[in-house]
Structure formats: C-alpha cells, structure tokens
Structure 1
Amino acid sequence: MLQVKAGNLDKMGLLFERYHRPLFGFLFHMTGQTETSEDMVQTVFYRMLKYRHTFTGDGEFRTWMYHLARNVLADVAKQNKRSANHADVTELAERIGGGLMADEELQREQEKDLLRKAMSRLSDDHREVLILSRFQELKYDEIAQVLNTTEGAIKVRVHRAMNELKRIYTTIESSRKAHEL
C-alpha cells in the first residue's frame, strides 16, 4: 500500500488479488447479501485509492482496510435506513459441529439454521467482533485497531458476544422444541 500511496497504482491489482476475498467475506457476514457485499468491496478499493494518503504504514494494511470497510458498511446502512442483520454462519456451524455422520445431516442443517438466526439477532457490535475474530481470524490487537479501542475491551466484547450468542441460541432452540411438542 505504501507503493500505491507513492504513486505506483499498478500495485493496487496485487492488493485486490490478496484481499478481496477476505474483505468480501467480512462484508457478506455482516450483511448476508451477495450483491451488496460485492458492491461494497469495490467501494472499499475505490476508497483505498481515493484516501491512500491516509495510510501511514504504522499499522497493518488489513487493519486500515477493515476500518475503511466499516465506514462503507455504515454508509450503506444509512442509505438503506436499516441495519445489516444477517450472517451466514455455515463455517462457524461446521467448526462447532465437527465430524458429524451423514445420517445426522438434517440435525446439522437445523443447528446451522438456529445459529444463523441467533447471529442475526445479535447487536451489530457483537456480530462484528465475532465475524472479525472467528471468520476473518483477526487477532484481538488487530480488531482493537480496527475498532479504535483496546485489546482488553475487545476480549470483553468477544466474551460478551459469545455469551449473548449462546443465550439467544438456547432461547431459539427451546422455542423450537416447544413448538415440536
């Protein structure tokens, strides 16, 4: 990015190749909308060019990129006058589920659906820290830089978000079981 900042705009293609997928993943997990996420990736890369003078090189490029992405998310939410509140948690569900046998596929899909619903009911702040830490696999100090806070605060947010996710998941699961009876 420092080379792009210095005027070597050809390096922007390399940055796109390296980072467009993780960036899309973050945006998709926050919005649940493929087309919107693809558009937002383009907007983030456009803003990288437009605001390249703001990249200092003091921190990691990814941190700066996710900061821009959060701004784009906020702008889109303002434009739509509704917050993004859906997350595809298939990957997280697979991590939790482990090696299930083929005959348990229906149960696995139901668990994914419950987890998806629980994630969608989290506050944007809680969903964001879980996506950054679990899906994007950012370290707590990197997330702290993106969110302009301390690493300790991020640890607390992730802990609270996980507890809230567990509470919501359990509530949805209990409600579903009650309806089955």
Structure 2
Amino acid sequence: MNTLSDSALMLKVKSGESHTLGLLYERYKKRLFGFFFQMNKDASLCEDLVQNVFIRVLKYKHTYTEDSNFLSWIFKIARNVYYDHFKAQDKKRASTLTEVNHIEATENVERDIEKSEKIRILQKAINELPPAKKELIILSKIKELKYKELGEIIGCTEGNARTKVHRALYDLKQIYLTLEKR
C-alpha cells in the first residue's frame, strides 16, 4: 500500500477505506506542519492545524476526483484551515517566518555578519508583505510549489499565479531595498 500514489490512496479514502488516510498523513504531516510553522511560528498551533487538515480531508473526501492533483487539493484545504482558524479567533494574523539559525563562526567573520544581516533584512521584508503576498512567497519559493499547483491552491490559472508571484517578489525586493538602506 506504501507504493500507491497519493491520488490512489485518496480515492480509497473516498470509497470508504478511511484507514488509508494514515499513509497520507505520514506522507504530508511534515510538509503541512512546515507550511503552517512558516506562516505563524506557533508549533502547538501548527500541530492542531495539521490535524484539522486531515479532519477536513475526511469531511470533504467527496470533493476529491481522479483528475484532482492531490498536492494542490490538500494545500488548498490547509490554506482554508489556516485562514478559518484566524477568522474564528478574530485575531490579526501573526505571520512570521522561522528565525534563521545563527551562522557558526568561520574564518571570515565579516562575511558571515554581512550574510546574517541580509537574511535578517529578508525575513523582516517578508514579514512586512501583506499576508496574501507572503503566502505566495512561502508556497512558491520556500515550499517550492509549481505555478500550476499554486494556481490550483489559490484559485487562478498557472499564468496568473506566476504573475502574482512575480509581483510579490517585486514588492519584496522594494521592501528589502528600503530596509537595507536604513
């Protein structure tokens, strides 16, 4: 059963073999956790959100079709779980990227300090993006989703997703350059 594709496993879940959901959970829990952690940085909340994704997978299994791309489908659910959580809590989305590990001391300390400063500025720039653009950057550049998958997740065409990512990158660059001058 481990050799079955994600789509084949999901079709088994859809047909009533709910025990196969465990294999999908094992395949996707780390990836989903990483997505949630990069969006809000609260590990215990991320664990809850991952669980909620799989609860919704069961609840909405009837919406999955053979033609569906499983990765896009589950990340669309994850995205909805994330936003629904904050709507229910009526909180401002506190989205931050994980802190970058400190660079170990090397012979060229000056270069390491400069690199660390650039990473800090980049983190700060990403955090200053509006949530929708931040999400695009995380999904496309950090989670390395293809534009087609990203388009399916956010509900647009592949070309539109590419355009939105490029605009988000442009905005990120402008924010980064402004912060770098300070």
TM over 0.5: yes
Structure in which a larger fraction of residues adopt helix: 1
**TM-score bracket relative to the smaller structure:** 0.7 to 0.9
**Residues of 2 paired with 1:84 and 1:67: CA distance?**
20
How many angstroms apart in 1 are the aligned matches of 2:162 and 2:134?
A: 14
* C-alpha distance 57-90 of structure 1, shift in aligned 2 (>3 A): farther
Distance 1:114 1:49, change over 3 A: same
| Structure 2 residue aligned with 1:178 | none
Deviations 1:52-110 (A, max 9, x none): 1121222211111011111111112211421232123749xx9xxxxx97523322222
Q: Which residue of 2 aligns with 1:57?
A: 66
Q: 1:172 to 1:52 in 2, by over 3 A?
A: same
Equivalent runs, 1:1-181 vs 2, <5 Å: 1-78=10-87, 79-88=89-98, 90=100, 103=109, 104-175=111-182
Deviations 1:128-154 (A, max 9, x none): 111111122111011111111111111
State the 1:33 CA deviation: 2.2
Distance change in 2, residues 1:50/1:163 (3 Å): same
2:38–2:95 Cα contact (<8 Å) kept: no
**Contact 1:40/1:72 (<8 A) preserved:** yes
| Percent of aligned pairs sharing the same letter | 40
CA distance in 2, matches of 1:87, 1:30: 6
Could you tell me which amino acid in structure 1 is paired with residue 114 of structure 2?
A: Q
Provide the secondary structure at the position in 1 that maps to 2:67: coil
Q: Is the 8 A contact 1:29 1:131 kept in 2?
A: yes
The 1:101/1:31 distance shift into structure 2, 3 A limit, reads farther
The unaligned stretches of length 5 or more in structure 1 are 95-99, 176-181
Is the contact between residue 89 and residue 115 of structure 1 (CA under 8 Å) also seen in structure 2?
no
Which amino acid letter does the alignment assign opposite residue 149 of structure 1? C
Query: Which letter does structure 1 place at the counterpart of 2:98?
Result: D
> TM-score w.r.t. structure 1 length?
0.85
Q: Any runs of at least 4 consecutive aligned residues in structure 1 with deviations exceeding 3 A, and if so which?
A: none
